[in-house]
A and B are shown apart, each in its own frame.
Chain A
């Protein structure tokens, strides 16, 4: 937007122009082996999400078998607390963010019986507030991201009825803004992250008709920069430019994707680079479900229906 300087970049001529799939497979497969590195250690507070990103991107690239399933399942099991919630790593506190990552991992592996899912449901139930919102954990931060975590988790567990869905919807809609977007709480400014969560939330709860798709699409499209970066509504944005931008974010030495060409790569941007290319129609990658950010085949297996296809 105007008024705040927008950092756009010029894509260097030598930036990758083709998808380096094998490099990314190698990058992710090697990532878990860097346990005695500083960078790995300081990201322990979100390990559960890191594992989810890595596993999902490997599955999308058709190489889930390269990951150590037993080790992962054992790890997830050890992260569940008495209250039912799941922490980012062993000994770390339970939180909705990592509870969702854990449920996503177990859905991917079709191994939900690894943890006590009844306790997970109970944990989520107890975090819902009278106004329909959700705490992220017992300390009481409220954010529409947590509303998404709650319904995504329960939907994957087939237990959406365990919470007051109407109240939850009411709260999320109260966070809608003058630009058609959503913020983290009523009155907060629109932000792409919260928009993703709220649109996902409404897709899962079957309430997408509350969204003014054209207005929101407009807002999002205003965010595409001349280089092609950033995301918008797919039939409005410049697909070719966006594809070119994502491909340029690859590191042709190490594999993996960065947030922008020339930066350091990480598993998070690697998943979203690959998932983005999948949504843009790359047929060498499996189809991704944009609501749950899991392979479409996994979502089909669970039998969940969401409104994502019609949005």
Chain B
């Protein structure tokens, strides 16, 4: 559900994605050719009619009908969606609200049929945004859980966060939900001392959520990526672990450590310079090291538990590619 923003998918529908080539007889080929010739005539006649109406500045139902027939088979014909937008803007200025509302509701149902045929069409999603933005009484509830809605209407972010919790509980291997969560947490529970941070107590709870997921399916990369992202929130100083600390013999999670020397506000927590190691080390040292000294007691205890779990997981699954033993 969350994975349906206006235009998220990168495909050129023109390209024959996933169209299996089938061998045919010459008779079949001839029949196909005739059928295509007929289709081509209709298509070209429609296109010409639409362009000529547009040139004459005719913004009426007939224009909607002609463009609708072409767009139903070819929703990527962007100039025709633009013509439709011009028609609707004209109607918006020249007819009463109820009539406009009704016409735009029809447009939404038309778009739904287009999207059923071609769910990835940029043109259809883009036009849907236009209609929702321009109709007198948009029904945002119906569009709920489309990313688009979150951007434009005041959906309660805490509800959204609960929604992802629910999604993750039903299915841990849910890349979209983990992604959405990583966007929501800093908004709902911001850590004001750190622009990309999350409040500590929330963060600590979050470790448990992701640990459950990792234990349920240790090979699922979405939970590991999220885990890595969590380690980058909040403890700015903690990330500055020196390369060698004498006497360390610990578990390492092979995810990235961060250093803020080269970071912008945006890439902080994701950046890494070339010579840095790609491991996050969870130390077993109880005290006296730089690592633990800068943490609150709660954080230390959570990370210690984290280390225990990771060690346990490593013992259960020595071959897991996301875990390595540091010696």
Listed in ascending order, the chain A residues whose CB lies under 8 Å from chain B are 1-4, 36-39, 41-46, 49-50, 87-88, 91-93, 95, 137, 139, 141, 143, 145, 170, 173-174, 176-180, 183-185, 187-194, 209-215, 219, 222, 251, 258-260, 262-266, 268-269
The 6 nearest A-B residue pairs measured at CB: A193-B10, A3-B173, A178-B229, A173-B266, A264-B16, A178-B182
Name the contact of B150 in the complex, choosing from A183, A184, A187, A194 (C-beta under 8 A). Answer: A187
Name the contact of A209 in the complex, choosing from B172, B219, B262 (C-beta under 8 A). Answer: B262
17 sample A-B contacts, Cβ–Cβ < 8 Å, listed by A number: A1-B222, A41-B44, A45-B76, A45-B79, A88-B79, A92-B79, A93-B78, A170-B264, A173-B267, A187-B150, A190-B179, A191-B8, A210-B262, A212-B271, A215-B272, A259-B16, A266-B14
CA distance A185 to B78 in the complex (A): 20
Name the contact of B43 in the complex, choosing from A42, A192, A262 (C-beta under 8 A). Answer: A42
CA distance A143 to B7 in the complex (A): 8
CB-defined contacts of A37 to chain B, threshold 8 Å: 36, 40
Name the contact of B85 in the complex, choosing from A139, A190, A212 (C-beta under 8 A). Answer: A139
Q: How near does chain B come to A274, taking the closest CB pair, in angstroms?
A: 15
Contact A3-B175, Cβ < 8 Å, known A187-B183, A210-B267, A210-B271: yes
**Contact B271 A1, beta carbon cutoff 8 Å:** no
Could you mark each residue 247-284 of chain B with 1 if its beta carbon is under 8 Å from any beta carbon of chain A, else 0? Answer: 00000000110000010101100111110001000000
Listed in ascending order, the chain B residues whose CB lies under 8 Å from chain A are 3, 5-12, 14-21, 36-37, 39-40, 43-44, 47, 51, 73-74, 76-79, 82, 85, 122, 126, 129-130, 147, 150-151, 171-176, 178-179, 182-183, 217, 219-222, 225-226, 228-229, 255-256, 262, 264, 266-267, 270-274, 278
CB-defined contacts of A91 to chain B, threshold 8 Å: 51, 79
Contact A41-B40, Cβ < 8 Å, known A141-B126, A185-B5, A210-B271: yes
Residue of A whose beta carbon sits closest to that of B256: A215
**Contact B225 A268, beta carbon cutoff 8 Å:** no
Contact A176-B20, Cβ < 8 Å, known A187-B151, A188-B147: no
**Contact B43 A38, beta carbon cutoff 8 Å:** yes
**Contact B173 A210, beta carbon cutoff 8 Å:** no
CB-defined contacts of B151 to chain A, threshold 8 Å: 185, 187
A-B residue pair count with CB separations less than 8 angstroms? 173
Q: How near does chain A come to B120, taking the closest CB pair, in angstroms?
A: 11
Residue of A whose beta carbon sits closest to that of B85: A139
Name the contact of B267 in the complex, choosing from A36, A41, A176, A189 (C-beta under 8 A). Answer: A176
Residue of A whose beta carbon sits closest to that of B258: A212
Q: How near does chain A come to B27, taking the closest CB pair, in angstroms?
A: 19
CA distance A265 to B273 in the complex (A): 41
**Contact B171 A264, beta carbon cutoff 8 Å:** no
CA distance A145 to B15 in the complex (A): 18
CB-defined contacts of B256 to chain A, threshold 8 Å: 212, 214-215
**Contact A46 B179, beta carbon cutoff 8 Å:** no
CA distance A174 to B266 in the complex (A): 5
CA distance A9 to B185 in the complex (A): 38
CB-defined contacts of A143 to chain B, threshold 8 Å: 7
Residue of B whose beta carbon sits closest to that of A87: B79
Name the contact of A219 in the complex, choosing from B7, B79, B225 (C-beta under 8 A). Answer: B225
